[in-house]
Amino acid sequence: MSANLPRLALKLACVALAAQALPAHAQAGQGNAAAQVGALREATFADLAALSESAGIVVRATIRKMARVEDERAPGLTPGMGRFYVNAETRALLTGSAPIGQSFAYLVDLPLDAKGKPPALKKVDVLLFARPVAGRPGELQLVTPTAQQLWSEPAEARLRGILKALVAPNAPARITGVRELLYVPGNLAGQGETQIFLSTHDGSAASITVVHQPGAAPAWGVSFSELIAEVGHPPQPETLEWYRLACFLPANPPARANVSEGMDAMRQAAADYRMVLNQLGPCTHNLGGR
């Protein structure tokens, strides 16, 4: 590469989403690229939500040119990977905090085959999670090593849903911890209620309510406002509300957070918290991170 190649020292990797339901003119290129990097895992909802939240720009682009950077000029390069300077054409700006031109450049690390060749990505559409580069209006910097994903119609539709939820006026705040757990028994045997008050990054209200009624399974719900949670309607998987809870509630809240009166009440509050975690299910990240 020439000496004037921008020296972006970010280590990046390409991970593919399955290419499905593509237009006929794009099927061949997307399919070949997916096959070449198919051993890598697909992004989960949690992966896409985390990438979306950390990116100032999310763009669909078509790769036009790729040029290999000499390994000695690619610090931190993982064995079996090559660093590439990519020129891409903007297809659609899905969200952005800065203007973006018709074309731009970025660096990405790609897996190499036995012959030292990268996936054939020329003319292939990708989804990029990036930030602008200060002083370089024609360049982007990917936010993580997995911030380039192969585009497909289902992938873009899923991503647009996440982006829309993130900017909604009533978007749930990021959870930073558990402030209090409080179980209060009712007047009847088997009756009671646990309130779980959560900390958020912006100080806004968030709480989980678990209600016990005699002869019925516990019911719970969450509120990301000052209103009482709508019990019996917990967040559905692959929603932003679910992501906030499943991916950021601690496995074990601080012992001091349980302010229930008496050991039985403290045990019930702790059991209700575990029940909520179990019903939320795991927060799966195939691309690493949280």
Task: List the one residue out of 215, 208, 226, 214 whose CA is nearest residue 273.
Answer: 208
Question: What sign has the CA pseudo-torsion 272, 276, 279, 285?
Answer: negative
pLDDT per residue as tens digits for the range 35-51: 444 334 589 999 999 99
pTM value?
Answer: 0.84
User: For the residues 231-240, what does the mean pLDDT come to?
Assistant: 95
What token pair was written down for 218? 């516990």
The percentage of the chain sitting over the pLDDT mark of 70, rounded to a whole number, equals: 85
CA dist 51 and 7 (Å) reads: 23
Check residue 124 and give its pLDDT.
96
pLDDT per residue as tens digits for the range 8-40: 333 333 333 233 233 444 444 555 555 444 334
CATH architecture of 14-167: Beta Barrel (2.40)
pLDDT per residue as tens digits for the range 82-111: 999 999 999 999 999 788 899 999 999 999
If one counts every other C-beta atom within 10 angstroms of the C-beta of residue 110, the result is 21
- Per this entry, what is the length of the chain? 290
Check residue 227 and give its pLDDT.
85
CA dist 11 and 8 (Å) reads: 9
- Asked if residue 5 has pLDDT above 60, the reply is no
Task: List the one residue out of 18, 15, 32 whose CA is nearest residue 123.
Answer: 32
Check residue 290 and give its pLDDT.
57
Check residue 18 and give its pLDDT.
30
Check residue 146 and give its pLDDT.
85
If one counts every other C-beta atom within 10 angstroms of the C-beta of residue 72, the result is 7
Lowest mean pLDDT among 115-119, 206-210, 245-249: 115-119
Residue 180 — very low, low, confident or very high, per pLDDT cuts 50/70/90? Answer: very high
Domain extents in the chain: 14-167, 175-280
